[in-house]
A and B are shown apart, each in its own frame.
Chain A
């Protein structure tokens, strides 16, 4: 049991890798066995990550589930893992989307099955690793390792101009991350100059007070790596190609998880490590983000390729996440994180849905569809729900993120909020038009007459996402509480205006919530009940005339 209590992150991290090794051991012609093993290890990967949700204590330590072991002691690099609220949620998103992507590949991948699943599982490990690393060098290693499987996934199992897209994706991100490495090294040496210790420890980096001009340079260097990954306008052009030409699972992973690497990088590195530079760059970042929102939406409006349209909508959505982050307000940053998770859920689902029809019709051309509601009613219903989630309809998840982001931005600049909100209107325009062109109208293409509705397996990939979309839309409070203290720490570093308010909230919370020993927890582990602002226990509506 110590494996799960003390080395949880390592277990989460290595579970997909173990699956990959198992798949390697199976002879390649036994494809069914390979699929089963891969699917089960995807599910197991998600299952072992679930304790992150239940055992992460929002009011506890800043970094939880910490593990530390020597790696390259001579340069101060360590196997240093740990999560805060932000990375815990992203890891959960990764494991869930990974399991779904593997399940979604069941019917779509027919050749080189073994290699496919091995790469997918290795990719999974790399992505989790980037989120849980608290060592900058380890982070960078995982960051780079991620590229390789994705390159092969696009180049071998992709469609269209897959080689071009794969190489473009690889080189574009690599070019960015090389500069990012320079930034990390600069941090490393700057940290040595300040503390006298050679270390890649991210938690140390976050406590540095670097000179402002150095911060600016490092910010720019890190920006190159992160902004490409997000992607921010105008560094986004690899994304439509990669998303469009990747196989379904690749698009899902790219959109749902890999884009979050960029925003995660900004939140983990740029904001807390370089607070002065972050403040300095706020107008520029906001401008890029807003341009991205509107630009992405407008270009999406002009697309005739189903997947490309959703890819450009990602540009728009990620612009929203960046805008919220660089409002540097607690609400804005919380909104940004929630929006990232939501984007993972809804855009991931949208790519799954496209994949489902693509598998049946082998075209992504929107004009080849129309009237699908008549033959695929369940598909149409799920697609509608995800479309609505994507355009931020209240009571679904997309709205929570947009509301928080825009509210957080509004107090900084109403103009920015207003500009970004026009993107929301355009979002409704392109998504509903897409929906109408594919689902509504007459079923006049004979090839569409006999399309099958969702199979059980396809439905199984979508059900968790639908459930999450509704749940986050209606009752996001548990999720938001998990993010509370992590966001607070980032804001404390970067925007000291909020210091007193955050301290006060935490103090009130801690005064109200005494640590208690919970029977199920390991001995000595005190559990602090999450702070609540509920007037009454949930489920007991308070009522009565006042």
Chain B
């Protein structure tokens, strides 16, 4: 009996406390403590849930909590007559949710700890605000994971989108950050549109939005192998949602920009948890997807294409966080590919391992950026291996895991996917293999540029680094190095602040940066490893990146596949899940060897170009400069969208505003003008014709009366005389008449 509802509620309550009280009154330590304790409590509870499910027999691996009605039943037509539209606050933890719970709360906890030190230079209000958002994110993410029906999942889904918006735009004074947040939200909303329509269609088709009821109803339907039926339509719409949230083609454009947010945010939201929600959604509705094989193929193709293209773009980026952003899109493409071939368990496995090593890469890069005082351009890094040995070691582990080198976690999860892909679509396997090669290359390049060779940035003197910074600023806003500066300060001020001679005249510059100046004091001398609160999460994550793979070593490699067996009840009865067993040992071995060879080849190529013979690079870059520019701009998809959709919408908006003012409102005003013209005409008609006749009559009467009016002298006595005379006349008449 685990109180399931407490898991999202505790972080939500902490967020409320920090938001209502903390921003104004809490000292930093207290807001960080509240937030971290809350996520810690959620982690403990999640572990309890996980343990409980682990002990339960496979058939009973589920906990449900019904919190009450949300929308009580209202009659509504469905495909099978009138049904009842009803939504409850239903939470349900099964094996799939439990794995996700552990990932979200575990990595969330580590990142909270990391952020305590990372964000410490923020003013205390902003500090509490940061933790409020971060906790709120965790609450919504946990709600998403625990949702028992489509609508509750949608709440979490939109909620994490909101928190992502708030956290990307955390340094809201920077226009680029605010823009990036808004872009993320709106692009996500396009995907959510699909999700929302999918919910409607689910209700219309099945008369319920509960996952379990839908799954059991789907089981009774035939697989839509030949054409697109209603199930395929639902799946397509869900896929649109997943594509938006998980930054797949064609809606991946928001994720690279999302790196405007603080690095812990990038690690938690844009690497480990939120962006994988799309994959989670597909796995959660696997029953539906298994009945729509054509949509599955589409997902596989989209996933493979995204994996390869994003990795390719990652090859040439200079901003360390942008490399990692594309390197997040790529593995999620991998997960989609896995889901697309029906390997949901493998997809979740990769999701979990990826969460470890990608969060680690982000946090490591955060440490580097922190140490270099906000520098994100890898061209101004290098040689940090000796200065930051711990960061180097942990990031190296994560990089190897990402590349898929045995026996690290990434190897096992990736290998499982590749085996399944090989069986389903050999040509997609080729794409996957190529992706492995490219992935190994770019991550090796990242490590080489950051940690190998010699330091290429400015010297550790305040003046020089300020100069370097202003040069960077002069490169223009589109320059990657310039984009995500730390804090809201102007970059020049910022760098000055981080110089070793912090005290003295430079403090003037600091105060010039404004009250909300978020300066990092890390670079008080040569770069070095971060304090223990930041390195501890790195170490824990490194252990995870090393060992997490052992949870799911496939049976073909002699492992126990504990994770796969744990997840079995969730995906039980789904047609292609059984296929895994058919994989021959030989096939598996071949795929494994090919994959490892590709990874090693990629790594060696990067070593050649970036360590052994760096002078070859300019030659290559010049020869392929068209391709290089195309890749550097992310295939110019952003520009394309900007030129078509964004500009189109804005032009339509302006056009319609003009129409509204001129045509519609013009018509109203026109009616007014016509009415007034008519009124004027009537006025003239009235004045000269109608009133003319009346006046003529009046004038005639006036002339006639002119004669009579002389009688009216105005003298009282004349009137009295008249009266007396009249009286006499009447009396006379009366008396004489008798």
Instruction: Establish whether A and B are touching in the complex (CB under 8 Å).
Output: yes
Chain A interface (Cβ < 8 Å from any Cβ of B): 168, 171-172, 234, 236-238, 295, 298-303, 329-331, 334, 371, 373-374, 377, 381, 388, 393-395, 399-400, 403-404, 406-408, 410-412, 414, 417-418, 421-422, 424-426, 428-429, 432-433, 436, 439-443, 475-477, 480-481, 484, 487, 497-498, 500-502, 505, 531-536, 538-539, 541-546
Q: Does B125 contact A (CB under 8 A)?
A: yes
Residues of B contacting A414 in the complex (Cβ-Cβ under 8 angstroms): 197, 200-201, 204
- 11 additional contacts, CB 8 Å, given A237-B668, A407-B85, A436-B181? A301-B653, A331-B74, A334-B74, A410-B204, A429-B186, A432-B185, A477-B68, A477-B70, A505-B84, A543-B1, A545-B62
B3 to chain A, nearest CB (A): 7
In chain B, positions 184-211 with a C-beta closer than 8 Å to chain A are 185-186, 189-190, 193, 196-197, 199-201, 203-204
Closest 3 pairs between A and B when the two form their complex, measured CB to CB: A410-B200, A302-B653, A501-B75
Which residue on chain B has the smallest CB distance to residue A412? B77
Which of B151-159, B427-435, B544-552, B722-730 participates in binding chain A?
Answer: B151-159
Q: Given contacts A299-B657, A480-B72, is CB(A234)–CB(B196) below 8 Å?
A: no
CB distance from B674 to the nearest CB of A (A): 13
* CB <8 Å contact, B668 and A238: yes
In the bound complex, do residue B76 and residue A407 qualify as a contact, i.e. CB atoms below 8 Å apart? yes
Question: In the bound complex, do residue A429 and residue B69 qualify as a contact, i.e. CB atoms below 8 Å apart?
Answer: no
B residues near A371, Cβ cutoff 8 Å: 173
CA distance A16 to B647 in the complex (A): 50
Q: Is B654 an interface residue (CB 8 A)?
A: yes
Residue-wise interface mask of B (44-71) relative to A, using a CB-CB cutoff of 8 A (1 in contact, 0 not): 0000000000001000101111111111
| Pairs across A and B, CB under 8 Å, 20 listed | A237-B664, A295-B656, A298-B652, A299-B656, A374-B515, A407-B199, A411-B77, A411-B78, A418-B197, A429-B649, A436-B181, A440-B173, A441-B173, A480-B72, A497-B82, A501-B82, A505-B73, A541-B68, A544-B63, A546-B64
State how many angstroms separate the Cβ of B40 from the closest Cβ of chain A.
22
A24 to chain B, nearest CB (A): 35
Which residues B643-679 have CB closer than 8 A to chain A? 649-650, 652-654, 656-657, 660, 664-665, 668, 672
Residue B162 interfacial (CB < 8 Å): yes
What's the nearest-Cβ distance from chain B to residue A464, in Å? Answer: 17
Q: Using a Cβ cutoff of 8 Å, how many contacts connect chains A and B?
A: 209
Tell me which residues across on chain B come within 8 A of A487, comparing CB atoms: 74
Given the complex, which residues of A lie within 8 Å of B71, measured CB to CB? 400, 403-404, 476-477, 480
Residue of B nearest to A391 (CB): B189
Closest approach, in angstroms, between the C-beta of A206 and any C-beta of chain B? 20
Closest A residue to B654 by beta carbon equals: A302
B193 and A424 contact, CB distance less than 8 A:
yes
Give the residue name and chain of the A residue nearest to B73 (CB).
Answer: A533
> Are B66 and A234 in contact, with the CB atoms below 8 A?
no
* Chain A residues, CB < 8 A from B654: 302
Q: For B190, B193, B668, which residue has the most chain A Cβ atoms within 10 angstroms?
A: B668
CB contact under 8 A between A543 and B63, given known A410-B204, A505-B75: yes
Q: Determine the chain B residues whose CB is within 8 A of the CB of A303 once the complex forms.
A: 657
Task: Check if A475 sits within 8 Å of B68, measured CB to CB.
Answer: yes
Determine which of B4, B64, B69, B77 lies in contact with A533 in the assembled complex, contact meaning CB atoms within 8 Å. Answer: B69
B175 contacts the other chain (CB 8 A):
yes
> Most chain-A Cβ atoms within 10 A of its Cβ — which of B1, B5, B62, B76?
B76
- Bound CA span A404–B72, Å: 11
List chain A residues, Cβ under 8 A from B23.
377
B569 contacts partner chain A, Cβ-Cβ < 8 Å: no
Contacts of A424 in B (CB 8 A): 189, 193, 196
Residue of A nearest to B23 (CB): A377
Judge whether B179 is part of the interface by a CB distance below 8 angstroms. Answer: yes
* Nearest CB in chain A: distance from B207 CB, A: 10
Given contacts A377-B23, A425-B193, contact A441 B175 (CB under 8 A): yes
Least Cβ distance of B85 to chain A in Å? 5
A546 touches B69 (CB 8 A): no
Report B211 CB to chain A, min CB distance, Å: 13
Q: Which of B60, B155, B162, B660 contacts A299 (CB 8 A)?
A: B660
Return chain B residues, CB-CB under 8 Å to A539: 68
> Chain B residues near A295 (CB, 8 Å)?
656, 660
Given contacts A374-B516, A432-B182, A544-B63, contact A406 B196 (CB under 8 A): yes
On chain B, the residues within 8 Å of A334 by CB distance are: 74
How far, in angstroms, from A543 to B172 measured CA to CA in the complex? 42
Q: Which of B201, B204, B649 has the most CB of A within 10 A?
A: B649
Q: Which residues of B sit under 8 angstroms from A299, Cβ to Cβ?
A: 653, 656-657, 660
For B199, what are the chain A residues with a Cβ–Cβ distance below 8 Å? 407
Residue contact B1 to A544, C-beta cutoff 8 Å: yes
Q: Chain B interface: which size bin?
A: 35 or more
Our pick among A436, A501, A505, A538 for the contact of B179 (Cβ within 8 Å) is A436
Q: Is B120 an interface residue (CB 8 A)?
A: no
Enumerate B369-389 residues with CB–CB distance to A below 8 Å. none
- In the complex the two chains form, what is the Cα distance from A406 to B76 in whole Å? 12
B189 touching A425 by the CB < 8 A rule? yes
Residues of the A chain whose Cβ atoms lie less than 8 Å from the Cβ of B60: 545-546
Report whether B200 and A406 are in contact in the complex, using a CB–CB cutoff of 8 Å.
yes
Query: Do A302 and B76 touch across chains, with their CB atoms under 8 A apart?
Result: no
Residues B200 and A407 in contact, CB atoms below 8 Å apart: yes
Nearest-Cβ distance from residue A367 to partner chain B, whole angstroms: 14
Instruction: Tell me if B169 counts as interface (CB < 8 A to partner A).
Output: yes
DSSP majority for the A interface? helix
The distance from the CB of A313 to the nearest CB of chain B, in whole angstroms, is 13
Shortest CB distance A545–B (Å): 5
**B649 and A426 form a contact (CB under 8 A):** yes
Interface string of B454-494 (1 = CB under 8 A from A): 00000000000000000000000000000000000000000
At the interface, yes or no: B315 with Cβ under 8 Å from chain A? no
- Taken together as a complex, chains A and B put the C-alpha atoms of A143 and B197 apart, in Å, by 38
Q: How far is the CA of A424 from the CA of B4 in the complex (A)?
A: 32
Does B86 lie at the interface of the complex (its beta carbon under 8 Å from any beta carbon of A)? yes
Chain B residues lying within 8 Å of A417, measured Cβ to Cβ, are 197, 200
- In the assembly, what is the distance between CA of A209 and CA of B82, in Å? 26
A442 contact set on B, CB distance < 8 A: 173, 175
A476 touches B70 (CB 8 A): yes
- A481 and B516: CB pair below 8 A? no
Give Cα A295 to B19, complex, Å.
Answer: 36
Q: When the two chains form the complex, which single residue of B62, B75, B197, B665 contacts A421, counting CB atoms closer than 8 Å?
A: B197
For residue B320, CB closer than 8 A to chain A, the reply is no
A543 touches B64 (CB 8 A): yes
Question: Closest CB-CB distance, A348 to chain B, in whole Å?
Answer: 22
Chain B residues, Cβ within 8 Å of A168: 668, 672
CB < 8 Å neighbour of A497 from B77, B125, B656, B657? B77
A498 CB contacts on chain B under 8 angstroms: 75, 77, 82
CB distance from A207 to the nearest CB of B (A): 22
Q: A544-B63, A546-B64 are in contact. Are A301 and B650 (CB under 8 A)?
A: yes
Q: Please, which residues of chain B bring their CB within 8 A of the CB of A236? A: 664
Across the interface, do B72 and A477 meet the contact criterion of CB distance under 8 Å?
Answer: yes
Contact A543 B4 (CB under 8 A): yes
Is the beta-carbon distance between A543 and B65 smaller than 8 angstroms?
A: yes
Q: Which residues of B contact A377 (CB under 8 A)?
A: 23, 125
B162: chain A residues within 8 A (beta carbon): 388, 393
- Asked whether B74 lies within 8 Å of A330 as measured between CB atoms, the reply is yes
Given contacts A393-B162, A406-B200, A428-B185, contact A440 B67 (CB under 8 A): no
Residues B137-181 near A (CB distance < 8 A): 151, 154-155, 157-159, 162, 165, 169, 172-173, 175, 178-179, 181
A428-B186, A436-B179 in contact; A331/B76 too (CB < 8 A)? yes
- B649 contacts across to A, CB distance below 8 A: 298, 301, 426, 429
B482 to chain A, nearest CB (A): 16
* B-side contacts of A407, CB under 8 Å: 76, 85, 199-200, 203
CA distance A395 to B140 in the complex (A): 10
Known A168-B668, A436-B182, A477-B68; contact A329-B76, beta-carbon cutoff 8 A: yes
- Name the residue among A234, A303, A381 with the largest chain B CB count within 10 angstroms: A234
A330 and B78 alpha carbons, distance in the complex (Å): 13
